[in-house]
Amino acid sequence: MKCGICPRGCAQRETGLCGVGMVPVVARAAPHFDEEPVISGTRGSGAVFFSGCPLGCVYCQNEALSFEHVGRPVRNLRAIYERLIAQGVHNINLVTAGHFLPAVVESLRPRLPVPVVWNSSGYESEAQIAALNGLVDVYLPDFKYLRSETAAALSHCPDYPQVARRALLAMHAQVGEAVFDEEGLMRRGLLVRHLILPGHAQESVEILGWIFENLPNAYVSVMAQYTPNARVAGTDMDRRISRAEYERVWRFIQAQGFENGFVQSRSSARREYTPAFDLTGVDGGL
């Protein structure tokens, strides 16, 4: 049966690029403290890490999910959310859940008592974003590439730039200007992430320029945590970003009068930031 959930439009879900079936596969569900401060807060974000991904970026730091499909099928996502909320998390953070959209939408009804964060690659159709209207409070997408050739080489996805631009515009139109609570946590809004890649500092500048021009008042998180993995060994991607590349992007941000968001230091490029996908918290939804 043809799958039309994500923009890939695979001919068969069973052999699709995400590598998983229709039942959500979850690898970890636990309080997470390594998101941006407006998401993690003091008690953590209730991060639910879904397995599988329609992109398959060669440098993926969560390759246990995107390539190895670590996790267990979960038929009661709601029970997982409720257990996390009972632990005191500030929000429910759905990490790479777009290819399980029908089950996820069902699990979010009725509305949860805490904000829902949609943490994604940015590669989503406008129809997917429309289906989340009224169910998601904070969009936390990546904006990875602005050039089709880069997207093709690194994620086998040449249409990523145009798809992601449309998705981000739809997210922004849906949730509007950011709203924060008395603790400084984002309760509604758009926070766009961009990871600086080695050899692509100029493209980072162009991406950030597009965001500043087209997503007024959106928050931005500029990340410098790129860490090469075995899949990029021997290629141009087999290194961390250089000081010159980091400073190229930093100078551009400063020139724009950047205020709404966060910029990681180069010292953040460490494997320790990748959580253990050890099925923590998953049993509650079986």
Digit-coded pLDDT (tens) for 196-213: 999 999 999 999 999 999
Between CA 89 and CA 43 the distance in angstroms is 5
Count of other CB atoms within 10 angstroms of residue 236: 11
Give the C-alpha separation, 224 to 241, whole Å.
7
β-bridge pairing 92-95 and 116-120: parallel
Share of the chain above pLDDT 90, in %: 90
Q: Which pLDDT does position 43 carry in this prediction?
A: 98
pTM across the whole model = 0.96
CA atoms of 226 and 241, how far apart (whole Å): 7
Which residue from 5, 103, 148, 123 is spatially nearest to 56, judged by alpha carbons? 123
Cα–Cα distance measured from residue 199 to residue 276, given in angstroms and rounded to the nearest whole number: 29
Dihedral of the alpha carbons of 245, 250, 251, 252, in degrees to the nearest 10: 100
Please name the residues in contact with 255: beta carbons below 8 A apart, sequence gap of 6 or more. none
**pLDDT tens sequence across 155-183:** 999 999 999 999 999 999 999 999 999 99
Contact 71, 279 (CB under 8 A): yes
Percent of the chain scored above 70 by pLDDT?
A: 96
**Residue 81 has what pLDDT?**
98
pLDDT of residue 273: 66
Asked whether residue 18 is marked as a ligand-binding residue, the answer is: no
Q: Among 18-27, 40-49, 206-215, 273-282, which is the least confidently predicted range?
A: 273-282
| Distance (Å, whole) CA 84 – CA 29 | 8
SS (H, E, C) 31-67: EECCCCHHHHCCCCEEEEEECCCCCCCCCCCCHHHHC
**What was the pLDDT predicted at 44?**
98
Write out pLDDT tens, residues 214-273.
999 899 999 999 999 999 999 999 999 999 999 999 999 999 999 999 999 876 655 666
Taking the C-alpha atoms of residue 233 and residue 238, their distance in angstroms, rounded to an integer, is 5
Report CA-CA distances (Å) from 239 to 29, 153, 215, 270.
31, 17, 31, 12
- The per-residue pLDDT of the chain, averaged, comes to 94
Q: Is 10 annotated as a binding residue?
A: no
Q: What is the mean pLDDT of residues 125-129?
A: 97
